[in-house]
Amino acid sequence: MNPLTTILSAGDRFVRPELFSDAIRAAVGEGVPLEFRTTTSQWPHEPFGPVENVDEASGTVEGMIEALRGVEIAVTQLAPFSRSIIEASPDLKLIGVSRGGPVNVDLEAATRAGVVVVNAPGRNAQAAAEFTIGLILAASRRIPAAHGELARGTWRGDYYSWEEAGGELDGETVGLIGLGAISTIVARILRAFGATVIAYDPYAAPTEGVELVELDDLIARSGIVSLHARLTDETRHILDETRLRAMRPGAVLINTARGGLLDYAPLPELLESGHLRALGLDVYDIEPPPADWPLLSAPNVVLSPHLAGATRQTAERAASIIAGEVATYLTGGELRYVCNPEVLRG
């Protein structure tokens, strides 16, 4: 008889614990006896943040240590796995993190303890790509502003004037900074609209229908620029004031990736002057932004509270990817999405 495997489903109010549990049961089948424990953090109703030496986490050290007693496998989106939590959990062998970057896990501590960490790359790619297209259209065509004015009783027929009218995607050049899972889908959708798509990514392979160019060339040519790079020391403020001022007059700027990619300080003046025609943001250097943040009152700005990945399909897909890794682990197969492969080698 197979021994009982204890799994902690550490969910939240988006990727709920039962999504993990149900997906794992479906992936593993009836032959493996499983015991599930569950915890639920209050994210997104309560913000995530740093917990000891890990970031973007939701939960407490004490709560996690207690929940992990006797647990071999833990699956989560945001639960913290700091050094002290991992060191206090000797039975733990596998952590599944249902997001692209497991920043809520101390990978070094996990590796030292022999704990394999797997993640779920691309789980929100479709959602974020569709949201990016929506933000491009909303910002370029002033859809939220027109709705707000009409709801307040003002009929803005002047938005039809030459000076106020927006542009079309058909025939426009759209520049993507970063060419990964999300922006590849964005490129495909943009091409269906008739746009010319160029991209800057020194690490990307050639992609059909997308011209890879240097960053300064992209900035000079693009009527719409959309950020999609990962945030690293190399990409922090990749759009700084110099590059922002080098953008085409009347360009539209979109950021659904990470706040740190963009220097926000020059943006109010660039919008006021018309150098930037419109700005669409889903991410910020400080989340949430303070009440006196200048962009809250700047013209032609569309803002959303970090929602690009917020679809039910994303939550289900994330749980399903991790469930597949758990099933592979339990049957001794080859894991696909290992963040610390040195554990498997040693």
Is 147 assigned a catalytic role? no
Q: Provide, for the chain, the percentages of residues in helix, strand and coil under a 3-state DSSP scheme, each rounded to the nearest 5.
A: 35, 20, 45
Q: Which two tokens stand for residue 26?
A: 């479906």
Options 258, 277, 317, 325, the catalytic residue:
258
108 is catalytic: no
Q: Does residue 287 have an active-site annotation?
A: yes
What beta strand segments (E) does the chain contain? 5-11, 34-40, 49-51, 54-57, 73-76, 94-97, 116-119, 173-177, 196-200, 210-212, 224-227, 251-255, 276-281, 301-303
* Long-range contact set of residues 157-165: C-beta below 8 Å, sequence gap at least 24: none
Query: Residue 92: CB partners within 8 Å, gap ≥ 6?
Result: 68, 71, 72, 73, 74, 86, 113, 115
Crossing angle, helix 125-141 and helix 143-151, to 10 degrees? 60
| Catalytic annotation, pick one of 62, 164, 168, 287 | 287
Residue type, 233: D
Asked if 335 and 328 touch (Cβ cutoff 8 Å), the reply is: yes
Contact 24, 44 (CB under 8 A): no
Helices (H) and strands (E) in the chain, counts: 12, 14
Q: Are the C-beta atoms of residues 19 and 26 closer than 8 Å to each other?
A: no
54-57 and 49-51 strand pairing? antiparallel
Strand partners, 38: 9
Amino acid at 68: L
Catalytic residue among 69, 112, 236, 306: 306
Distance separating alpha carbons of residues 48 and 80, to the nearest angstrom: 10
Distances (CA, A) of 30 to 26, 327, 334: 8, 12, 21
Catalytic residues: 258, 287, 306
